[in-house]
Amino acid sequence: MRFCAKCGRQLADGEVCSCQTIQQQPVQQSGGNADPYMQQNAAAAVPAKKKSGMKIFLILLIVLLIAAGGVFAWWWFNREDDSSGSSSGKNTKKKMQSYSQTSSTVKNALNSALVDLSDDYDIEFTGYITSKDVRKAKPKDSSSSSYRVTTADQLLNETSFIKYASEYADCIDTRDDELEWVAYIRNGDCLYAAASDDFDSYKIGSSPVGEDNIYIMNKKGEFVEADKGDEYTLDDIIKQLKKFG
């Protein structure tokens, strides 16, 4: 029994292996008597194409995974960080910071207006005012000097308080109802302000503001940071302020 020295195929006595004559013979067309062994070798070459296709598939899969990871990373860093870890309607750090900045703007504008009025009026008013009060007010021009202001009605309707405050901040006279706020004034000094998009919303900010939560008025009439996780609306804040003016 003989075997081809090149390809190892078993040969009959006197047979010359086709692998030694393939270079000398033209390729058989369909319908001819092709060498079965060569057909087997050609079929064996097919898996190489499959391997190449699998490589392309793996590359595409890796690209898709990288893209998905990038989208997730973008969402993670741009998501709203819920400080209380609960559903919508709760305080979030981003919202609290935004409304706290607005609260600070309101408080500073009201204080500036109070300073402007102090040249002509004796501001003795202690109590709270809200954005609703400003929308309902009908200020009258008054040239009285040394006039004692002891109520919110006098402050809003009988002085230029709203006009002055609006010059310092556009958000004071919120005719479009896009922003709501409440402020507490004690003897001509605005000590506190809180803002939100609605009076019953838990997304609220304040000025001053604490590390983990807004400031509220305690039972002693002092402004302190609320306990972490506690939730308040502007309506809740107003209930507290009513007890002290």
Structural domain range at position 158: 93-242
Whether 63 is in a domain gets the answer no
Q: Quick one: pLDDT at residue 85?
A: 40
Q: Quick one: pLDDT at residue 4?
A: 78
Q: Quick one: pLDDT at residue 186?
A: 94
Q: Quick one: pLDDT at residue 168?
A: 94
Domain count for the chain, please give it.
Answer: 1
pTM over 0.85: no
Distance CA 205, CA 224 (A): 14
Crossing angle of the two packed helices 36-44 and 46-78, in degrees rounded to 10: 10
List, for the chain, all residue ranges whose pLDDT scores fall below the cut of 70: 1, 20-51, 77-92, 141-146, 174-177
* Alpha helix (H) residue ranges in 79-182: 93-117, 131-136, 152-157, 161-168
Whether 88 is in a domain gets the answer no
Whether 31 is in a domain gets the answer no
Q: What is the pLDDT of residues 129-184, one digit of tens each?
A: 999 999 999 887 655 555 889 999 999 998 999 999 999 998 887 665 678 999 99
Is residue 11 within 8 Å of 37, Cβ to Cβ?
no
Whether 26 is in a domain gets the answer no
Is residue 204 within 8 Å of 100, Cβ to Cβ?
no
Whether 223 is in a domain gets the answer yes
Of the candidates 174, 192, 225, 196, the one whose C-alpha atom is nearest the C-alpha of residue 91 is 196
Whether 230 is in a domain gets the answer yes
Whether 171 is in a domain gets the answer yes
Whether 71 is in a domain gets the answer no
